[in-house]
A and B are shown apart, each in its own frame.
Chain A
């Protein structure tokens, strides 16, 4: 079984490789598989994928996914894509491990497989595209505050829980680059436990304890919304700028009221665009996904892979009054 299967697979792969240039005239079919259909974030990613397809010229995007966010649903979708013999699958997975067998089968049939947004275990894909990296996020959250404080000022952090791993890593990364922002003083770090009422109370407490506070940085979606509401209720709009990581749909009110001048999160359009570009490069231009590889992704620059074949796309995207209306209905 082993040797025969391997030999056959090798032959099939070789045939596929040789066949590739001949097929180049036809459209390259790249499947963008999402966690579930009907989610604004992924619809936006599909928009980005279409943009990449237009730029590349000979690419057809198949935007698909299950109707609910289950691994079983995605496995069915993958099996049907294998049967359709698509050229590449770019997937945002519902389960790190459950999809591996199905995706392995796809790779054995010569289909390029990459994951983006929500990853698959390394054996189930060729590379994984992270929207950003901890270092980039850490830098971004302090940059957001500093951009509106040219003369420096006092800022405070409002985190989730004391044990929340990603929050702590981001704040650690932020402290590393704090020296690049002279005049920015971090006066306190408080924890809102990702509860609206506790975050609100902590933000109110910050404004009382530090009457000269200039900004509250909340790298958590519950915290940033609650802090913005606390600033509005305290009548400190214009004095205290609330910023950090949040979703446009949840933050639209805070931008409108002026409590938040800007905040950041990944841009789903860029994410879909980059995933498509990467899938194309791997599938058509024979680029190997390996440690240290630098893979071009059009207008988004290049992706550098680490030892787990993962890479970070870019800085989180900044949302403010100028673009919030375009995104608030998206995600």
Chain B
């Protein structure tokens, strides 16, 4: 009980981010200027949104490797839609992106739920299928910035109270997930299904359906990010966000979401994503050889995981106090 009231892991991760920022500031002071930190947060926003979706999937003892491919396919579809129907308003594009992403998530979820195929196999398969579909619909061609409408590329950049819409979207996602995980039956059932599936069944929770809903959520967020990504970088092609699914999983793992399921928090996923985001944005400016950058990113992940494994190890519970005293 006391563990829950003081989220030690999140505090430590938050501290690690502050130490990291201090180290970077030592080499490149401008990095910690408020304006630049806002830029770093904005750059990390897609990772945060995807990490939240991945969090619920991992929490139910599954994994979604198709998020980046889902993002790329949705991005390509909305980009091509924008070229074909330039007057389509942005809210409609957003709705299409979310629905299409959710649909792809539902395909994953159904295969896991109804056919009981291991999630890693399902999403490895759909990852390739989604990339293949992008190639089929686009013919391998790019959708370029001059073909997209200004409203389409302008939306994630538009500033509200000094922050771009992209950042606000991430903040909104964080708030929604915080409420959902703590206050709704669905959010609680994610914990229950991952923590102990058998016990969850006895409490009346449908394990398969809960996993299905987790995939739908992850897919919907991937779809939303697909539009934001394509609009932000103003280009859509087959390989966008290639390999990004691993970064999303890494953000979750660093954030203390247990691959074994049942353990995790919104704050953890967000801090994990921010940690990676700070590393990714700092490496180019602190003048570290590109040959070292990959090794440094990888080491950060390993250290975080090793740390989490130690902290998460269940301590033996003493059942007989009197026996302990006598021994």
Which residues of A are interface residues toward B (Cβ below 8 A)? 162, 189-191, 194-198, 200-202, 204-206, 208-209, 225-226, 229, 233, 249-250, 252-254, 256, 328
Q: Chain B: how many interface residues by the 8 Å CB criterion? A: 29
**Inside 8 A of B240's CB, which chain A residues have their CB?**
195-197
Neighbour of A201 across the interface among B243, B284, B287, CB < 8 A? B284
Q: Are B291 and A195 in contact (CB under 8 A)?
A: no
What's the Cα separation between A249 and B144 when bound, in Å? 7
Digit string of B240-270 for contact with A (CB within 8 Å is 1, else 0)? 1111100000000000000000000000000
Say which residue of A196, A200, A328 sits within 8 Å of B146 (CB atoms): A328
Distance, CA A233 to CA B242, complexed state (A): 23
Alpha-carbon gap, A250 to B141, bound state (A): 10
Which of chain B's residues have a CB closer than 8 A to the CB of A162? Answer: 290-291
Contact of A205 among B234, B235, B285 (CB under 8 A): B285
Contacts of B36 in A (CB 8 A): 208
Interchain CB contact (< 8 A) of B28 among A191, A197, A209, A233: A209
What residues of B have a CB within 8 angstroms of the CB of A191 in the complex? 290
Given contacts A225-B144, A229-B145, 17 further A-B contacts (CB under 8 A): A189-B290, A190-B290, A195-B240, A195-B241, A196-B235, A205-B285, A208-B30, A209-B28, A209-B284, A209-B285, A225-B235, A229-B233, A250-B144, A250-B235, A252-B144, A252-B145, A256-B146
Query: Contacts of B235 on A, CB cut-off 8 Å?
Result: 196, 225-226, 229, 250
Q: Say whether A209 contacts B233, CB under 8 Å.
A: no
Main secondary structure of the interface of B (DSSP, over half): helix
Closest to B229 in A: A197
Contact A249 B234 (CB under 8 A): no
Return chain B residues, CB-CB under 8 Å to A226: 233, 235
How far does the alpha carbon of A222 sit from the alpha carbon of B100 in the complex, in Å? 26
Residues of B within 8 A of A206 (CB): 284
Interface residues of B (CB under 8 A from A): 28, 30-31, 36, 39, 43, 142, 144-146, 157, 229, 233-235, 239-244, 280-281, 283-285, 287, 290-291
Contacts A226-B233, A253-B234; A201 near B281 (Cβ below 8 A): yes
Q: Kindly state the separation between the CA atoms of A209 and B157 in the bound complex, as whole angstroms.
A: 23
Least distance between B212 CB and chain A CB atoms (Å): 30
Q: Which residues of A contact B30 (CB under 8 A)?
A: 208
Q: A140–B157 Cα gap in the complex (Å)?
A: 34
How far, in whole Å, are A233 and B234 apart by their CA atoms in the complex? 11
Determine whether the beta carbon of A201 is less than 8 Å from that of B233.
Answer: no
- Do the beta carbons of B285 and A208 come within 8 Å of each other? yes
- A205 near B241 with CB under 8 A, answer no
17 contacts across the A-B interface (CB closer than 8 A):
A189-B290, A190-B290, A195-B240, A196-B235, A197-B233, A197-B241, A197-B244, A201-B43, A201-B280, A202-B284, A209-B284, A225-B144, A226-B235, A229-B235, A250-B144, A253-B144, A328-B146
Considering the chains assembled together, what is the distance between the CA atoms of A125 and B184 in angstroms?
71
Residues of A within 8 A of B290 (CB): 162, 189-191
Q: Using Cβ atoms and an 8 Å threshold, which residues of chain B touch A202?
A: 284
Q: Are A233 and B157 in contact (CB under 8 A)?
A: yes
Chain B residues positioned under 8 Å from A254 (CB to CB): 145
Contact B284 A196 (CB under 8 A): no
Whether B284 and A205, one on each chain, are in contact in the complex, defined by CB atoms closer than 8 angstroms, is yes
Q: Which of chain B's residues have a CB closer than 8 A to the CB of A196?
A: 233, 235, 240
Which 4 residue pairs across A and B have the least CB separation, nearest first? Answer: A205-B284, A253-B145, A253-B146, A252-B146
Q: Which residue of A lies closest to B47 (CB)?
A: A197
Residues of B within 8 A of A195 (CB): 239-243
In whole angstroms, how far apart are the Cα atoms of A244 and B270 in the complex?
A: 37
Least Cβ distance of B273 to chain A in Å?
A: 14
Docked-complex contact A249 and B142, CB < 8 angstroms: yes
A162, A191, A202, A250 — which one has the most chain B CB atoms within 10 A of its CB? A250
A281 to B163, CA, bound (A): 64
A199 to B302, CA, bound (A): 25
On chain B, the residues within 8 Å of A201 by CB distance are 43, 280-281, 284
Q: Chain B's nearest CB lies how many Å from the CB of A9?
A: 41
Residues from chain A with a CB closer than 8 A to the CB of B234 are 225, 229, 253
Question: How far apart are the CA atoms of A200 and B242 in the complex, in Å?
Answer: 15
Bound together, the chains give a CA A290 to CA B190 distance in angstroms of: 72
CB distance from A8 to the nearest CB of B (A): 45
Residues of A near B287 (CB, < 8 A) are 209
Q: Which residues of B contact A328 (CB under 8 A)?
A: 146
A249: chain B residues at CB < 8 Å are 142, 144
Nearest-neighbor residue (CB-CB) of A210 within chain B: B285
The distance in angstroms between the C-alpha atoms of A225 and B229, with both chains bound, is 14
Q: How far is the CA of A147 from the CA of B146 in the complex (A)?
A: 25
Minimum CB distance partner of A234 in chain B? B39
Cα A48 to Cα B287 with chains together (Å)? 47
Chain B residue nearest to A196 in the complex (CB)? B233
Give Cα A250 to B234, complex, Å: 10
- Is the beta-carbon distance between A204 and B145 smaller than 8 angstroms? no
Q: Which of B142, B233, B239 contacts A250 (CB 8 A)?
A: B142
Instruction: Give the residues in chain A near B281, CB-CB below 8 Å.
Output: 201, 205
With both beta carbons as reference points, the residue of chain B lying nearest to A206 in the complex is identified as B284
Cα–Cα distance between A162 and B243 once the two chains are bound (Å)? 17
Residue numbers in B under 8 Å from A189 (CB-CB) = 290
CA distance in complex: A194, B157 (Å):
23
A253 contact set on B, CB distance < 8 A? 144-146, 234
Complex: A205 Cα to B239 Cα, angstroms: 23
Give CA–CA (A47, B291) in the complex, Å.
45
Residues of A within 8 A of B284 (CB): 190, 201-202, 204-206, 209
CB-CB < 8 A to B229: which residues of A? 197
From A189, A194, A197, A226, name the one whose CB has the most chain B CB atoms within 10 angstroms.
A197
